[in-house]
Chains A and B, each alone.
Chain A
Amino acid sequence: MTAAVEADALVKTFGDIRALDGLSLRVEAGTILGLLGPNGAGKTTAINVLTTLLSPDAGRATVAGHDVVEQPALVRAAIGVTGQFAALDSGLTARENLVLFGRLMKLGRAEARRRAAELLERFTLTEAADQRTGTLSGGTRRRLDLAASITREPAVLFLDEPTTGLDPRSRLALWEAVRELRASGITILLTTQYLEEADELADRVTIIDRGRVVAEGTAEELKRRVGGAVCHIAVADAADRQLVSETLGTLGPVSVLPDGVSLPATGPETLVAVVRELDEARHAGLPIARIDDIGLRRPTLDDVFLALTGHPATPDAQADGEAAASDEAGRPARPTAEVAS
């Protein structure tokens, strides 16, 4: 296969911070690569280098066959970029925004209008077409932003955290739109903090942390690397999670996740051992943790991230009481007790 995006040992430093520390990645033409990592891992810096906004201090990268440093104009002509913040004019209507992008991409007036109408139809934006963009919901704006970035069908599309802050329904609609773009042959590099998102959309996943790649593969391969099943104890309260992890410390390496505690499972016997251990602690008169659920499940990318980097993918979600807030921010709830068969 040919690589539509290829980065080789990219380095970018800001003062003392090595935002990219020898990052290499490859996106095959016509596929979606999920670039995954916590805040500050270097995802946005990587996108900025690949979209010619920043020059790397070292290393090289090609996008659609063009060197990002030596042929930035050719790269720009071949890419579309949708950022974390929809760069649309809130004072213009959805249609006017699309016509504007069409004109900036050198379509004639009539052609830009025709293309705008086509995109409004394709992205189910016809109802919003003649409303000021500022009055549209966050999800609709992101879809419009996505439509704008493919006004002139790009070879490679960069989506920088396209669903951050969206509610679950808008997120699903955006996922659907992204899948359709892939189906039309566009190569997509998607960054996200949400592991489910990469799981849903990406053909391959590259996990980065502190500017380096820590793992690469399909979501399935990465999950297999963590091993078999995981016993997950869902605990809402942070102090309780600590309590549970201490209680279960004798059973194996316990990981504290944002939504609970998990440890490697060999089979149903692990479940029995966990319940017994918790019950014994209760009988011994130790402080009791409030547990919402206990179950066996196949590892998620969260587990992969934790296993590979030693810290959870969303460090800020570790703080107490953040679980509810992050649900509001639109992270779809994950089944906590999906028992592996």
Chain B
Amino acid sequence: MTSTIPAAVAGTLAGPPPPGVAGTRPRPAFATDVAVLAERHLRLMSRRPASIISAIVLPLVFALLFFTVFSRVMRRGGLDYIDYLLPAVVIQAVFFTGMSSAILAAEDALGGTLRRLRTMSVSRPAPALGLLAAELTRSLLSLGVLLAIGAALGFRFHGGPWKALGFPVVMLAFAAALVTCFIALGLAIRRLEAVTTATNLIYFPFMLLSSAFTPAAAFPSWLRPVVEQQPVSRVADALRALTAHDAALARPLLIAGAWLLGLGVVGVLGASRALGRAAA
């Protein structure tokens, strides 16, 4: 009863070979799977007003609002605020990207998509990596929009073309680490309101209690060490070093790199664990 059917016989199990595409069997192909699933997410995002708003409109609105509210005060303090502000709104846009990824990941887990993919010849990490690729593409779009408005308001890369090229690289590294963590969060929580609450609880303290929008000197002295050391501030430091004319580069890049590496490891471990559970 339980003897294994030889592979040669197994091929004939479906009866007469069905016409057309049926003869061969699909195999997982990592790159194709990731690309196809990334395309899926990008197409879905492009049709979702909430995605377009949080990728394009919100970063723009925040950039203009902060610029309008703070630039004169800051100039009086001797700071060219648009140069200071741009890395902050880029980081903020990456957070918006991360929040989107958490929700999309949770939706795929809830709607049965992950389970369905798991029963198909699709490579295991492809659903998460496809979403990551789509979100990184989206964050590049946000960056483009912010650089355009920034340029209009007077933002310049003062450190030359090589440093300017480093700017999107650091942003993408931050986005990759953060999105991976947020995908893990979305897959693990799997309830949409709870996902929104959790991502907000990460976003607000990390974004506001950082040197992203205002220099650390603006915070009370007991809070200043935390504000200066936390990862969002460290990424902001690295981005600013890449826009400045003569800032020291190695130290801020190394510190930010260490944070992002740590964050990335946590994200990858969490996401692979959560992906296995969400699909079961």
Query: Which residues of A come within 8 Å of B, CB atoms?
Result: 2-4, 6, 8, 26, 29-30, 48, 51-54, 60, 62, 64-67, 73-74, 76-79, 81, 83, 85-87, 89, 91-92, 96, 100, 103-107, 111, 115, 118, 152-156, 184-187
Contacts and interface: CB of A to CB of B under 8 A. Distances in A.
Contacts of B9: 2, 65
B26 A105 contact: yes
A152 B4 contact: no
- 8 tightest A-B contacts by CB? A65-B10, A185-B15, A65-B5, A87-B112, A153-B22, A87-B116, A155-B14, A77-B25
B21 A104 contact: no
B115 A87 contact: yes
A96 B117 CA distance: 16
B229 interface: no
Interface string B231-261: 0000000000000000000000000000000
B76 interface: no
A295 to B, nearest CB: 42
A76 B5 contact: no
A67 B36 CA distance: 29
Contacts of B2: 6, 8, 60, 62
Contact of B32 (A85, A106, A186): A106
Contact of A81 (B5, B25, B119, B279): B119
Nearest to A158: B119
Contact of A186 (B14, B36, B47, B122): B14
B49 to A, nearest CB: 11
Contacts of B75: none
B21 A76 contact: no
Contact of A78 (B25, B37, B40, B279): B25
Given A65-B9, A81-B116, A153-B21, A30 B43 contact: no
Interface string B15-41: 110101110011111001100110010
Interface in B95-129: 111-113, 115-122
B120 A53 contact: no
B14 A103 contact: no
Contacts of A8: 1-2
B218 interface: no
A145 B47 CA distance: 21
B121 A65 contact: no
B280 interface: yes
A95 B29 CA distance: 23
Nearest to B113: A87
B119 A89 contact: no
A107 B199 CA distance: 37
B48 A104 contact: no
B53 interface: no
B6 interface: yes
Contacts of A187: 13-14
B7 A65 contact: yes
Q: Most chain-B CB neighbours within 10 Å: which of A3, A64, A106?
A: A106
Given A2-B12, A92-B40, 16 more contacts: A52-B118, A53-B279, A62-B5, A64-B10, A74-B25, A77-B121, A81-B119, A83-B112, A91-B43, A92-B44, A103-B32, A104-B33, A105-B121, A106-B32, A185-B14, A186-B18
B40 A29 contact: no
Given A65-B7, A92-B44, A103 B112 contact: no
B83 to A, nearest CB: 39
Contacts of B43: 91-92, 96
A76 B22 contact: no
Contacts of B47: 91
Given A65-B5, A106-B121, A54 B21 contact: no
Contacts of B113: 87, 89
Given A67-B4, A155-B14, A52 B27 contact: no
B118 A53 contact: yes
Contact of B111 (A85, A103, A106): A85
A106 B27 contact: yes
A92 B12 CA distance: 35
Q: Most chain-A CB neighbours within 10 Å: which of B1, B6, B48?
A: B1
B215 to A, nearest CB: 43
A153 B17 CA distance: 9
A8 B3 CA distance: 10
A107 B21 contact: yes
Contact of B120 (A64, A65, A104, A185): A104
A74 B6 CA distance: 13
Contacts of A66: 10
A159 to B, nearest CB: 13
A186 B15 CA distance: 7
Contacts of A6: 1-2
Q: Most chain-A CB neighbours within 10 Å: which of B13, B29, B113?
A: B13
A118 B22 CA distance: 13
A133 B48 CA distance: 14
Contact of B280 (A54, A91, A154): A54
B115 to A, nearest CB: 6
Nearest to A70: B4
Nearest to A184: B18
Contacts of B44: 89, 91-92
Nearest to A86: B112
Given A87-B112, A103-B36, A4 B13 contact: yes
Contacts of A60: 2
